[in-house]
Copies of this chain bind each other. A is one copy, B any other.
Amino acid sequence: MSPEESLDPENWNEMRRLGHRMVDDAMDYLERVRERPVWQPVGDAAKAALRAPLPVKGQGPAAVYEDFLRDVFPNGMGNIHPRFWGWVIGTGTPFGALADMLASTMNPNIGGGDQGPNYVELQTLSWLREMLGYPADSSGLLVSGGSMANFVGLAVARNAEAQTDVAQEGIASAPRRMTLYASTETHNSVRKAASLLGLGRAALREIPVNDAFRIDLEALRRSIAEDRKAGLHPFCVVGNAGTVNTGAFDALPELADLCESENLWLHVDGAFGALAALSPRLKPLVRGMDRADSLAFDLHKWMYMPYDVGCALVRWPEKHRATFVSPADYLAHLTRGLPAGPIWFSEYGVQLSRGFRALKVWMSLKEHGVAKFGRLVEQNCDQAAYLQSLVEADPELELLAPVPLNIACFRFAPPGMDPARLDEINEEILIGLQESGTAVPSSTILGGRFALRVCICNHRTRREDLDLLVREVLQRGRALAAEPARRS
Protein backbone atom coordinates (compact mmCIF):
# COMPACT_ATOMS: atom_id res chain seq x y z
CA MET A 1 0.00 0.00 0.00
CA SER A 2 1.22 3.47 -0.82
CA PRO A 3 2.25 5.75 2.06
CA GLU A 4 -0.51 8.08 3.26
CA GLU A 5 -0.22 11.83 2.80
CA SER A 6 -2.05 14.80 4.36
CA LEU A 7 -2.54 18.52 3.81
CA ASP A 8 -0.57 19.40 6.92
CA PRO A 9 2.70 21.22 6.31
CA GLU A 10 5.89 19.25 5.85
CA ASN A 11 7.58 21.77 8.07
CA TRP A 12 5.45 23.17 10.85
CA ASN A 13 8.04 25.74 11.86
CA GLU A 14 8.03 27.23 8.40
CA MET A 15 4.25 27.52 8.63
CA ARG A 16 4.65 29.21 12.02
CA ARG A 17 7.11 31.69 10.57
CA LEU A 18 4.84 32.36 7.61
CA GLY A 19 1.95 32.90 10.02
CA HIS A 20 4.02 35.44 11.98
CA ARG A 21 4.82 37.27 8.76
CA MET A 22 1.15 37.32 7.83
CA VAL A 23 0.22 38.75 11.22
CA ASP A 24 2.87 41.46 10.87
CA ASP A 25 1.79 42.29 7.33
CA ALA A 26 -1.88 42.34 8.32
CA MET A 27 -1.26 44.66 11.25
CA ASP A 28 0.92 46.97 9.13
CA TYR A 29 -1.82 47.00 6.50
CA LEU A 30 -4.41 48.05 9.06
CA GLU A 31 -2.23 50.43 11.07
CA ARG A 32 -1.22 52.37 7.95
CA VAL A 33 -4.50 52.25 6.06
CA ARG A 34 -5.01 55.99 6.44
CA GLU A 35 -1.85 56.70 4.47
CA ARG A 36 -3.09 54.85 1.38
CA PRO A 37 -5.69 55.73 -1.26
CA VAL A 38 -9.13 54.45 -0.25
CA TRP A 39 -9.51 52.48 -3.45
CA GLN A 40 -7.82 52.15 -6.82
CA PRO A 41 -8.97 50.41 -9.99
CA VAL A 42 -7.53 46.90 -10.30
CA GLY A 43 -4.51 47.02 -12.61
CA ASP A 44 -4.10 44.93 -15.73
CA ALA A 45 -1.23 42.91 -14.30
CA ALA A 46 -3.31 41.72 -11.36
CA LYS A 47 -6.28 41.03 -13.62
CA ALA A 48 -4.07 38.94 -15.89
CA ALA A 49 -2.54 37.07 -12.95
CA LEU A 50 -6.03 36.31 -11.72
CA ARG A 51 -6.83 34.59 -14.99
CA ALA A 52 -4.10 31.95 -14.58
CA PRO A 53 -5.08 28.34 -15.29
CA LEU A 54 -6.10 25.79 -12.67
CA PRO A 55 -3.04 24.86 -10.59
CA VAL A 56 -2.41 21.14 -11.01
CA LYS A 57 0.76 21.04 -8.95
CA GLY A 58 1.06 22.95 -5.69
CA GLN A 59 3.35 25.94 -5.19
CA GLY A 60 3.64 25.55 -1.44
CA PRO A 61 2.44 28.11 1.09
CA ALA A 62 5.27 30.65 0.89
CA ALA A 63 4.99 31.14 -2.89
CA VAL A 64 1.20 31.39 -2.67
CA TYR A 65 1.59 34.10 -0.08
CA GLU A 66 3.85 36.08 -2.43
CA ASP A 67 1.13 35.89 -5.10
CA PHE A 68 -1.41 37.09 -2.57
CA LEU A 69 0.82 40.02 -1.59
CA ARG A 70 1.29 40.99 -5.23
CA ASP A 71 -2.14 40.48 -6.77
CA VAL A 72 -4.74 40.57 -4.02
CA PHE A 73 -3.63 42.47 -0.93
CA PRO A 74 -3.13 45.86 -2.67
CA ASN A 75 -6.45 45.56 -4.51
CA GLY A 76 -8.97 45.59 -1.68
CA MET A 77 -12.40 47.15 -1.74
CA GLY A 78 -11.18 49.89 0.57
CA ASN A 79 -13.91 49.58 3.15
CA ILE A 80 -11.34 49.32 5.94
CA HIS A 81 -10.25 52.89 5.13
CA PRO A 82 -11.42 55.84 7.28
CA ARG A 83 -12.93 57.57 4.22
CA PHE A 84 -15.01 54.68 2.95
CA TRP A 85 -18.71 55.44 3.30
CA GLY A 86 -20.25 53.56 0.37
CA TRP A 87 -23.48 51.51 0.57
CA VAL A 88 -23.77 50.12 4.14
CA ILE A 89 -20.44 48.47 4.65
CA GLY A 90 -18.49 47.85 7.81
CA THR A 91 -14.78 48.03 8.46
CA GLY A 92 -13.76 45.03 10.50
CA THR A 93 -11.14 45.12 13.26
CA PRO A 94 -7.65 43.68 13.80
CA PHE A 95 -8.78 41.46 16.68
CA GLY A 96 -11.80 40.31 14.65
CA ALA A 97 -9.46 39.11 11.89
CA LEU A 98 -7.37 37.18 14.42
CA ALA A 99 -10.56 35.71 15.86
CA ASP A 100 -11.46 34.40 12.42
CA MET A 101 -8.12 32.61 12.24
CA LEU A 102 -8.84 30.93 15.58
CA ALA A 103 -12.34 29.99 14.42
CA SER A 104 -10.96 28.36 11.29
CA THR A 105 -8.23 26.63 13.28
CA MET A 106 -10.81 24.94 15.51
CA ASN A 107 -13.01 24.66 12.43
CA PRO A 108 -16.09 23.28 14.16
CA ASN A 109 -19.38 22.72 12.41
CA ILE A 110 -21.96 24.44 14.60
CA GLY A 111 -24.93 22.55 13.33
CA GLY A 112 -25.20 21.55 16.95
CA GLY A 113 -23.83 19.10 19.49
CA ASP A 114 -22.10 19.21 22.82
CA GLN A 115 -19.13 21.42 21.93
CA GLY A 116 -17.74 24.71 23.17
CA PRO A 117 -18.48 26.66 19.97
CA ASN A 118 -22.15 25.79 20.29
CA TYR A 119 -22.20 27.35 23.78
CA VAL A 120 -20.30 30.36 22.46
CA GLU A 121 -23.01 30.99 19.86
CA LEU A 122 -25.73 30.55 22.49
CA GLN A 123 -24.05 33.05 24.77
CA THR A 124 -23.49 35.48 21.91
CA LEU A 125 -27.16 35.31 20.93
CA SER A 126 -28.20 35.93 24.48
CA TRP A 127 -25.92 39.00 24.61
CA LEU A 128 -27.30 40.29 21.33
CA ARG A 129 -30.87 39.96 22.59
CA GLU A 130 -30.00 41.84 25.75
CA MET A 131 -28.16 44.58 23.81
CA LEU A 132 -31.19 45.20 21.64
CA GLY A 133 -33.77 44.79 24.39
CA TYR A 134 -35.37 41.87 22.59
CA PRO A 135 -37.17 39.21 24.68
CA ALA A 136 -34.81 36.81 26.45
CA ASP A 137 -36.91 33.78 25.56
CA SER A 138 -36.76 34.41 21.81
CA SER A 139 -34.85 32.08 19.50
CA GLY A 140 -31.98 33.22 17.37
CA LEU A 141 -29.38 32.30 14.84
CA LEU A 142 -26.24 33.86 13.43
CA VAL A 143 -26.48 33.96 9.65
CA SER A 144 -24.49 35.25 6.72
CA GLY A 145 -26.04 38.71 6.94
CA GLY A 146 -29.12 40.88 6.80
CA SER A 147 -30.47 39.39 3.58
CA MET A 148 -30.51 35.93 5.11
CA ALA A 149 -31.82 37.27 8.43
CA ASN A 150 -34.74 38.87 6.58
CA PHE A 151 -35.29 35.63 4.70
CA VAL A 152 -35.40 33.66 7.96
CA GLY A 153 -37.83 36.06 9.63
CA LEU A 154 -40.14 36.14 6.62
CA ALA A 155 -40.00 32.36 6.18
CA VAL A 156 -41.20 31.91 9.76
CA ALA A 157 -43.85 34.58 9.25
CA ARG A 158 -45.09 32.87 6.09
CA ASN A 159 -45.37 29.46 7.72
CA ALA A 160 -46.78 30.72 10.99
CA GLU A 161 -49.48 32.86 9.39
CA ALA A 162 -50.47 30.75 6.39
CA GLN A 163 -53.44 29.02 8.05
CA THR A 164 -52.53 25.89 6.08
CA ASP A 165 -49.43 23.73 6.25
CA VAL A 166 -47.52 25.53 3.49
CA ALA A 167 -44.24 23.92 4.54
CA GLN A 168 -45.69 20.57 3.63
CA GLU A 169 -48.29 21.41 1.00
CA GLY A 170 -46.83 24.52 -0.58
CA ILE A 171 -48.06 28.06 -1.08
CA ALA A 172 -50.65 26.87 -3.54
CA SER A 173 -52.50 25.20 -0.66
CA ALA A 174 -53.23 28.54 1.01
CA PRO A 175 -56.86 29.39 0.34
CA ARG A 176 -56.18 33.07 -0.26
CA ARG A 177 -53.24 34.95 -1.73
CA MET A 178 -50.88 36.02 1.06
CA THR A 179 -49.73 39.66 1.03
CA LEU A 180 -47.13 41.59 2.98
CA TYR A 181 -46.46 45.29 3.43
CA ALA A 182 -43.40 47.49 3.58
CA SER A 183 -42.45 51.01 2.62
CA THR A 184 -40.96 51.87 -0.75
CA GLU A 185 -37.69 52.55 1.08
CA THR A 186 -37.39 48.93 2.21
CA HIS A 187 -34.24 46.98 1.38
CA ASN A 188 -34.30 44.87 -1.75
CA SER A 189 -33.61 41.70 0.25
CA VAL A 190 -37.23 41.81 1.41
CA ARG A 191 -38.42 41.76 -2.19
CA LYS A 192 -35.95 38.96 -2.90
CA ALA A 193 -37.25 36.95 0.05
CA ALA A 194 -40.87 37.39 -1.09
CA SER A 195 -39.86 36.05 -4.47
CA LEU A 196 -37.83 33.11 -3.15
CA LEU A 197 -40.46 32.12 -0.59
CA GLY A 198 -42.96 31.62 -3.39
CA LEU A 199 -45.10 34.58 -2.38
CA GLY A 200 -44.00 36.60 -5.38
CA ARG A 201 -42.65 40.13 -5.45
CA ALA A 202 -46.16 41.32 -6.28
CA ALA A 203 -47.31 40.06 -2.88
CA LEU A 204 -45.16 42.77 -1.35
CA ARG A 205 -47.23 45.94 -1.27
CA GLU A 206 -44.87 48.88 -1.43
CA ILE A 207 -46.35 51.63 0.68
CA PRO A 208 -45.39 55.27 0.10
CA VAL A 209 -43.33 57.24 2.62
CA ASN A 210 -43.69 60.70 4.07
CA ASP A 211 -41.11 63.48 3.79
CA ALA A 212 -39.01 61.85 6.47
CA PHE A 213 -38.92 58.64 4.40
CA ARG A 214 -41.05 56.84 7.00
CA ILE A 215 -43.89 54.57 6.01
CA ASP A 216 -47.22 56.38 5.54
CA LEU A 217 -49.39 54.68 8.16
CA GLU A 218 -52.68 55.76 6.62
CA ALA A 219 -51.68 54.42 3.23
CA LEU A 220 -50.63 51.19 4.93
CA ARG A 221 -54.00 50.82 6.67
CA ARG A 222 -55.81 51.48 3.42
CA SER A 223 -53.75 48.95 1.51
CA ILE A 224 -54.41 46.26 4.10
CA ALA A 225 -58.13 47.04 4.13
CA GLU A 226 -58.33 46.94 0.34
CA ASP A 227 -56.56 43.59 0.19
CA ARG A 228 -58.86 42.13 2.83
CA LYS A 229 -61.85 43.42 0.91
CA ALA A 230 -60.46 41.80 -2.26
CA GLY A 231 -60.38 38.46 -0.45
CA LEU A 232 -56.61 38.35 -0.01
CA HIS A 233 -54.76 37.38 3.15
CA PRO A 234 -52.57 40.14 4.61
CA PHE A 235 -50.12 38.38 6.94
CA CYS A 236 -47.06 40.52 7.62
CA VAL A 237 -45.73 44.06 7.88
CA VAL A 238 -42.02 44.76 7.51
CA GLY A 239 -40.91 47.74 9.54
CA ASN A 240 -37.62 49.52 8.94
CA ALA A 241 -35.21 50.41 11.72
CA GLY A 242 -32.86 52.50 9.61
CA THR A 243 -33.61 52.44 5.88
CA VAL A 244 -30.76 51.86 3.48
CA ASN A 245 -31.15 55.16 1.62
CA THR A 246 -31.43 57.63 4.45
CA GLY A 247 -31.43 55.79 7.79
CA ALA A 248 -35.11 56.52 8.42
CA PHE A 249 -37.07 54.66 11.12
CA ASP A 250 -40.64 53.68 10.50
CA ALA A 251 -42.97 54.40 13.42
CA LEU A 252 -42.39 51.04 15.09
CA PRO A 253 -44.77 51.44 18.07
CA GLU A 254 -47.59 52.36 15.70
CA LEU A 255 -46.70 49.45 13.41
CA ALA A 256 -46.71 47.12 16.41
CA ASP A 257 -50.14 48.41 17.48
CA LEU A 258 -51.47 48.02 13.97
CA CYS A 259 -50.09 44.47 13.65
CA GLU A 260 -51.60 43.57 16.99
CA SER A 261 -55.03 44.82 16.09
CA GLU A 262 -54.90 43.47 12.54
CA ASN A 263 -53.38 40.17 13.64
CA LEU A 264 -50.32 40.52 11.42
CA TRP A 265 -46.74 39.37 11.89
CA LEU A 266 -44.34 42.26 12.46
CA HIS A 267 -40.89 41.72 11.02
CA VAL A 268 -38.34 44.48 11.61
CA ASP A 269 -35.39 44.95 9.29
CA GLY A 270 -32.84 46.59 11.54
CA ALA A 271 -29.82 45.75 9.38
CA PHE A 272 -27.81 48.59 10.87
CA GLY A 273 -30.41 50.84 12.51
CA ALA A 274 -31.20 48.28 15.22
CA LEU A 275 -27.80 49.06 16.70
CA ALA A 276 -29.03 52.52 17.66
CA ALA A 277 -30.30 50.59 20.69
CA LEU A 278 -26.73 50.56 22.03
CA SER A 279 -26.67 54.30 22.57
CA PRO A 280 -28.70 55.74 25.45
CA ARG A 281 -29.18 58.89 23.38
CA LEU A 282 -30.33 57.14 20.20
CA LYS A 283 -32.32 54.40 21.87
CA PRO A 284 -35.68 56.21 21.53
CA LEU A 285 -35.40 55.60 17.77
CA VAL A 286 -35.84 51.85 18.21
CA ARG A 287 -38.82 52.10 20.56
CA GLY A 288 -41.28 49.36 19.62
CA MET A 289 -38.61 47.14 18.05
CA ASP A 290 -38.88 44.77 21.01
CA ARG A 291 -42.46 44.05 19.97
CA ALA A 292 -41.46 42.63 16.59
CA ASP A 293 -42.26 38.98 15.96
CA SER A 294 -38.93 38.69 14.19
CA LEU A 295 -35.92 40.95 13.92
CA ALA A 296 -33.04 41.00 11.45
CA PHE A 297 -29.76 42.83 11.86
CA ASP A 298 -26.10 42.70 10.92
CA LEU A 299 -22.93 42.49 12.94
CA HIS A 300 -20.64 43.14 9.98
CA LYS A 301 -22.05 46.61 9.45
CA TRP A 302 -22.55 48.78 12.48
CA MET A 303 -20.85 46.41 14.87
CA TYR A 304 -17.75 46.67 12.66
CA MET A 305 -17.09 42.91 12.67
CA PRO A 306 -15.42 41.14 9.76
CA TYR A 307 -17.70 39.68 7.07
CA ASP A 308 -19.93 37.81 7.07
CA VAL A 309 -22.21 37.75 10.09
CA GLY A 310 -25.76 38.83 10.75
CA CYS A 311 -28.46 37.68 13.13
CA ALA A 312 -32.11 36.68 13.06
CA LEU A 313 -34.16 36.71 16.27
CA VAL A 314 -37.66 35.28 16.49
CA ARG A 315 -40.07 35.84 19.33
CA TRP A 316 -41.66 32.41 18.87
CA PRO A 317 -39.02 29.66 19.14
CA GLU A 318 -41.39 26.83 18.25
CA LYS A 319 -42.59 28.57 15.11
CA HIS A 320 -39.01 29.33 14.24
CA ARG A 321 -37.90 25.72 14.61
CA ALA A 322 -40.96 24.32 12.85
CA THR A 323 -40.04 26.31 9.75
CA PHE A 324 -36.58 24.81 9.36
CA VAL A 325 -36.48 21.45 11.13
CA SER A 326 -36.26 18.52 8.81
CA PRO A 327 -35.49 15.28 10.58
CA ALA A 328 -33.27 12.62 9.04
CA ASP A 329 -31.92 9.30 10.22
CA TYR A 330 -28.34 10.45 9.91
CA LEU A 331 -29.04 13.43 12.18
CA ALA A 332 -30.47 11.49 15.12
CA HIS A 333 -30.00 13.48 18.33
CA LEU A 334 -28.63 10.94 20.76
CA THR A 335 -28.83 12.08 24.36
CA ARG A 336 -25.19 11.31 25.08
CA GLY A 337 -21.96 11.70 23.16
CA LEU A 338 -21.26 14.51 20.74
CA PRO A 339 -24.81 14.73 19.30
CA ALA A 340 -26.12 15.67 22.74
CA GLY A 341 -25.92 19.34 23.61
CA PRO A 342 -28.19 22.26 24.21
CA ILE A 343 -29.40 23.10 20.70
CA TRP A 344 -29.19 22.18 17.03
CA PHE A 345 -28.88 25.49 15.22
CA SER A 346 -29.31 23.72 11.89
CA GLU A 347 -32.98 23.35 12.82
CA TYR A 348 -33.39 27.14 12.85
CA GLY A 349 -32.06 28.15 9.44
CA VAL A 350 -31.06 27.13 5.94
CA GLN A 351 -27.57 25.88 6.76
CA LEU A 352 -26.97 22.38 8.08
CA SER A 353 -23.19 22.84 8.26
CA ARG A 354 -22.41 26.13 9.96
CA GLY A 355 -19.06 27.80 10.55
CA PHE A 356 -17.88 29.44 13.77
CA ARG A 357 -18.86 33.01 12.95
CA ALA A 358 -19.91 33.38 16.56
CA LEU A 359 -16.30 33.53 17.76
CA LYS A 360 -15.48 36.95 16.34
CA VAL A 361 -18.71 38.35 17.76
CA TRP A 362 -18.00 36.86 21.17
CA MET A 363 -14.36 37.97 21.23
CA SER A 364 -15.13 41.47 19.96
CA LEU A 365 -17.91 42.07 22.47
CA LYS A 366 -15.60 40.96 25.25
CA GLU A 367 -12.66 42.98 23.88
CA HIS A 368 -14.44 46.32 23.82
CA GLY A 369 -17.61 45.89 25.86
CA VAL A 370 -20.99 46.93 24.57
CA ALA A 371 -20.74 50.47 25.98
CA LYS A 372 -17.93 51.30 23.56
CA PHE A 373 -19.92 50.04 20.60
CA GLY A 374 -22.70 52.33 21.75
CA ARG A 375 -20.30 55.28 21.84
CA LEU A 376 -19.06 54.48 18.35
CA VAL A 377 -22.58 54.27 16.97
CA GLU A 378 -23.20 57.71 18.47
CA GLN A 379 -19.90 58.96 17.11
CA ASN A 380 -20.90 57.93 13.58
CA CYS A 381 -24.25 59.68 13.97
CA ASP A 382 -22.50 62.78 15.28
CA GLN A 383 -20.23 62.67 12.27
CA ALA A 384 -23.19 62.44 9.89
CA ALA A 385 -24.75 65.43 11.69
CA TYR A 386 -21.42 67.25 11.38
CA LEU A 387 -21.44 66.60 7.63
CA GLN A 388 -25.02 67.84 7.50
CA SER A 389 -23.93 71.06 9.18
CA LEU A 390 -21.11 71.51 6.67
CA VAL A 391 -23.52 70.94 3.80
CA GLU A 392 -26.15 73.27 5.19
CA ALA A 393 -23.58 75.99 5.78
CA ASP A 394 -22.54 76.01 2.14
CA PRO A 395 -24.78 77.57 -0.53
CA GLU A 396 -23.19 75.41 -3.23
CA LEU A 397 -24.23 72.19 -1.47
CA GLU A 398 -27.71 70.80 -1.01
CA LEU A 399 -28.92 68.31 1.57
CA LEU A 400 -31.31 65.82 -0.07
CA ALA A 401 -32.81 64.07 2.93
CA PRO A 402 -33.04 64.42 6.69
CA VAL A 403 -30.16 62.90 8.67
CA PRO A 404 -31.80 60.90 11.45
CA LEU A 405 -28.91 58.50 11.89
CA ASN A 406 -25.54 57.92 10.22
CA ILE A 407 -26.40 58.66 6.58
CA ALA A 408 -26.18 62.01 4.84
CA CYS A 409 -27.32 62.38 1.22
CA PHE A 410 -26.33 65.60 -0.50
CA ARG A 411 -25.07 67.03 -3.73
CA PHE A 412 -23.12 69.82 -5.30
CA ALA A 413 -25.82 72.23 -6.46
CA PRO A 414 -24.90 75.84 -7.02
CA PRO A 415 -28.06 77.90 -7.50
CA GLY A 416 -29.56 78.20 -10.97
CA MET A 417 -28.07 75.16 -12.60
CA ASP A 418 -29.90 72.80 -14.99
CA PRO A 419 -31.14 69.67 -13.14
CA ALA A 420 -29.80 67.18 -15.71
CA ARG A 421 -26.43 68.92 -15.62
CA LEU A 422 -26.41 68.67 -11.84
CA ASP A 423 -26.94 64.91 -12.03
CA GLU A 424 -24.12 64.63 -14.52
CA ILE A 425 -21.73 66.70 -12.43
CA ASN A 426 -22.48 64.85 -9.22
CA GLU A 427 -21.98 61.47 -10.86
CA GLU A 428 -18.64 62.76 -12.16
CA ILE A 429 -17.74 64.06 -8.68
CA LEU A 430 -18.50 60.63 -7.23
CA ILE A 431 -16.39 58.79 -9.78
CA GLY A 432 -13.58 61.31 -9.35
CA LEU A 433 -13.57 60.89 -5.58
CA GLN A 434 -13.39 57.13 -6.00
CA GLU A 435 -10.85 57.02 -8.83
CA SER A 436 -8.50 59.43 -7.08
CA GLY A 437 -8.63 57.30 -3.96
CA THR A 438 -9.80 60.29 -1.92
CA ALA A 439 -13.04 58.91 -0.55
CA VAL A 440 -15.72 56.35 -1.39
CA PRO A 441 -19.27 57.54 -0.93
CA SER A 442 -21.88 55.69 -2.99
CA SER A 443 -24.88 57.12 -4.81
CA THR A 444 -28.62 56.89 -4.78
CA ILE A 445 -31.57 58.64 -6.38
CA LEU A 446 -33.73 60.74 -4.07
CA GLY A 447 -36.75 62.56 -5.47
CA GLY A 448 -35.32 61.95 -8.93
CA ARG A 449 -32.02 63.60 -8.07
CA PHE A 450 -28.61 61.95 -8.13
CA ALA A 451 -27.32 62.00 -4.55
CA LEU A 452 -23.90 61.50 -3.02
CA ARG A 453 -24.62 59.13 -0.20
CA VAL A 454 -22.34 59.03 2.83
CA CYS A 455 -23.12 56.17 5.21
CA ILE A 456 -20.77 56.05 8.17
CA CYS A 457 -20.41 52.54 9.63
CA ASN A 458 -16.75 53.16 10.11
CA HIS A 459 -14.92 53.23 13.43
CA ARG A 460 -11.87 54.83 11.77
CA THR A 461 -13.61 57.93 10.39
CA ARG A 462 -12.76 61.32 11.94
CA ARG A 463 -14.39 64.69 11.42
CA GLU A 464 -11.31 65.82 9.51
CA ASP A 465 -12.15 63.15 6.90
CA LEU A 466 -15.51 64.80 6.33
CA ASP A 467 -13.87 68.23 6.07
CA LEU A 468 -11.68 66.80 3.35
CA LEU A 469 -14.68 65.28 1.59
CA VAL A 470 -16.54 68.57 1.47
CA ARG A 471 -13.48 70.43 0.23
CA GLU A 472 -13.00 67.88 -2.51
CA VAL A 473 -16.66 67.89 -3.56
CA LEU A 474 -16.65 71.65 -3.87
CA GLN A 475 -13.38 71.76 -5.74
CA ARG A 476 -14.37 69.02 -8.17
CA GLY A 477 -17.86 70.43 -8.55
CA ARG A 478 -16.64 73.91 -9.38
CA ALA A 479 -14.12 72.58 -11.90
CA LEU A 480 -16.79 70.46 -13.56
CA ALA A 481 -19.30 73.31 -13.59
CA ALA A 482 -16.76 75.42 -15.44
CA GLU A 483 -16.43 72.80 -18.19
CA PRO A 484 -18.89 72.56 -21.05
CA ALA A 485 -21.60 69.94 -20.46
CA ARG A 486 -20.69 66.50 -21.83
CA ARG A 487 -23.98 64.84 -22.49
CA SER A 488 -26.32 67.68 -23.25
Contacts and interface: CB of A to CB of B under 8 A. Distances in A.
A149 to B, nearest CB: 11
Contacts of A366: 55, 58-59, 63-64, 67
Interface in A92-129: 92-109, 111, 113-117, 119-120, 122-123, 126-127
Interface residues of A, number: 185
Nearest to A243: B330
Contacts of A351: 144-145, 147-148, 308
Interface stretch (A44-52, A260-268, A285-293, A390-398): A44-52
A324 B339 CA distance: 36
Contact of A47 (B31, B119, B427): B119
A317 interface: no
A364 to B, nearest CB: 8
A468 interface: no
Given A15-B27, A307-B353, 7 more contacts: A7-B364, A18-B98, A53-B130, A144-B355, A170-B203, A188-B352, A196-B197
Interface stretch (A77-85, A215-223, A414-422, A472-480): A77-85
A22 interface: yes
Contacts of A444: 329-330, 332
Contacts of A330: 87, 244-245, 442-444, 453
B26 A23 contact: no
A354 interface: yes
A319 interface: no
B354 A116 contact: no
B16 A23 contact: yes
Contact of A59 (B6, B27, B202, B367): B367
Contact of A93 (B8, B96, B363): B8
Interface stretch (A234-242, A248-256, A456-464): A456-464
Contacts of A372: 5, 7, 58
Contacts of A27: 12, 15-16, 19
A302 to B, nearest CB: 12
Given A58-B372, A245-B329, A431-B337, A15 B119 contact: no
A326 B211 CA distance: 25
A42 B116 contact: yes
Given A5-B376, A189-B352, A379-B4, A15 B59 contact: no
